[in-house]
Amino acid sequence: MKNRHVDIYFLLLIIEIFSVTTLLILNIKEVNFIDYVLCVLTFLIIIISFYSNLIMGLITSAFLVFAYGSYMLYKSLFYENIRIGNGYFWMVIFPLSAFISGRLSDAINEIRNKNIYLEKQISNLVTVDEITGFNNLKEFYRDLNEEISRSRRHKFYLVLMVVEVQYLEELISIYGIDKINKILKSISVLIEKAIRTEDKRYRIGEELFAIIMPNTDISGAEIVRQRLKRELENISINDDDKTKTYKLDIKIAALQYNDSIDNSFQFKELVQKELEYDI
């Protein structure tokens, strides 16, 4: 229905422009500079209505109708040779242009806003990072809340580990986004190999990975942390049929859950603070 409104108002605008242009061409001998100015003002009204709103377009057209009507009244009082019909034509075209262009803009904006809303809805449904295949931040908080509840209830060990790729923006500016995406994919593969099947992995930011490690204490997590630290600092990827190695600055921190941690947000924040001590 909304697409149909766009089609209708667009067609009406084309018909109006065609009609004005045709009438000017058919009366080319009688067209003067004032008609040219009025034609330009018509296009100005169309632009104002389209890029602002219908109300602004109608206000502009009302002002121009008043100004042109005053001019016509002045001409009729002091000059005999005046084309009244031509004046009425332009005074109708001004508000008509504003109305059609404004309604076309409203219909397009309505479709655009609907598309933005749908894109947000779709993005909310997506739970997997397309580059690494890991779950995203939304799933991370959901799963971490579940694991915290389980740890509290059954007194299980629980460790949260965070992996940070330092200076990612600078690396993107040096190597380009395509190459960095390959590096991030390689990082995800190495993380997958280093952890257990029951451990849960996520990409929770452009440069951040997270691993939820249920039934693991900090000493067991430290073994994984050291292994990851060694393997992630030098990443090899295939580039133009050649294997190239990139040295990365990687920080990894791990923290075991305890009863002083209230929620998943605080847990994540505490682990990220631990990254400062990984030198």
131/153 Cα distance (integer angstroms): 35
Total count of domains within the chain: 2
30/70 Cα distance (integer angstroms): 21
Within a domain: 246: yes
46/16 Cα distance (integer angstroms): 11
Bridge partner list, 7? none
Specify whether 236 is located in the same domain as 213.
Answer: yes
Is the model's pTM score more than 0.85? no
| Percentages of the chain per state (helix, strand, coil), in multiples of 5 | 65, 15, 20
Average pLDDT taken over every residue of the chain: 86
Specify whether 156 is located in the same domain as 119.
Answer: no
Within a domain: 116: yes
- Assigned token pair, 91: 């005074």
Of the three residues 125, 153, 173, the one that is the final residue of a domain is 125
Question: With 70 as the cut, is the pLDDT of residue 31 above it?
Answer: no
204/142 Cα distance (integer angstroms): 12
pLDDT at 72: 77
117/121 Cα distance (integer angstroms): 6
Residue 188's closest CA among 163, 159, 222? Answer: 163
How confident is residue 141, by pLDDT bands cut at 50, 70 and 90? very high
179/176 Cα distance (integer angstroms): 6
| Tens digit of each residue's pLDDT (9 = 90 or more) over 198-210 | 999 999 999 999 9
- Assigned token pair, 41: 């003002």
Residue 228, domain CATH: 3.30.70.270
Specify whether 161 is located in the same domain as 201.
Answer: yes
Query: What 3-state class would DSSP assign to 256?
Result: strand
Which residue has better confidence, 98 or 123?
A: 98
Determine which of 82-86, 153-157, 177-181, 228-232 has the lowest per-residue pLDDT on average. Answer: 82-86
89/56 Cα distance (integer angstroms): 21
| Tens digit of each residue's pLDDT (9 = 90 or more) over 38-82 | 888 888 988 988 888 888 888 988 888 888 878 777 777 766 555
Which residue has better confidence, 188 or 13?
A: 188
233/247 Cα distance (integer angstroms): 6
- Assigned token pair, 241: 């049929």
Specify whether 142 is located in the same domain as 115.
Answer: no
What per-residue string of b and e applies to 57-91 under the rule 16 or more CB within 10 Å gives b? bbebbeebbeebeeebeebeeeeeeeeeebbeebb
Specify whether 149 is located in the same domain as 266.
Answer: yes
Question: With 90 as the cut, is the pLDDT of residue 86 above it?
Answer: no
Specify whether 77 is located in the same domain as 6.
Answer: yes
Domain of 166 in residue numbering reads as 137-277
Contact, 24 vs 90, CB < 8 A? Answer: no
Of the three residues 66, 94, 125, the one that is the final residue of a domain is 125
Within a domain: 15: yes
- Assigned token pair, 27: 């009366």
What per-residue string of b and e applies to 205-234 under the rule 16 or more CB within 10 Å gives b? eebbbbbbbbbbeeebbeebbeebeebbee
53/110 Cα distance (integer angstroms): 12
204/199 Cα distance (integer angstroms): 15
Query: What 3-state class would DSSP assign to 197?
Result: coil
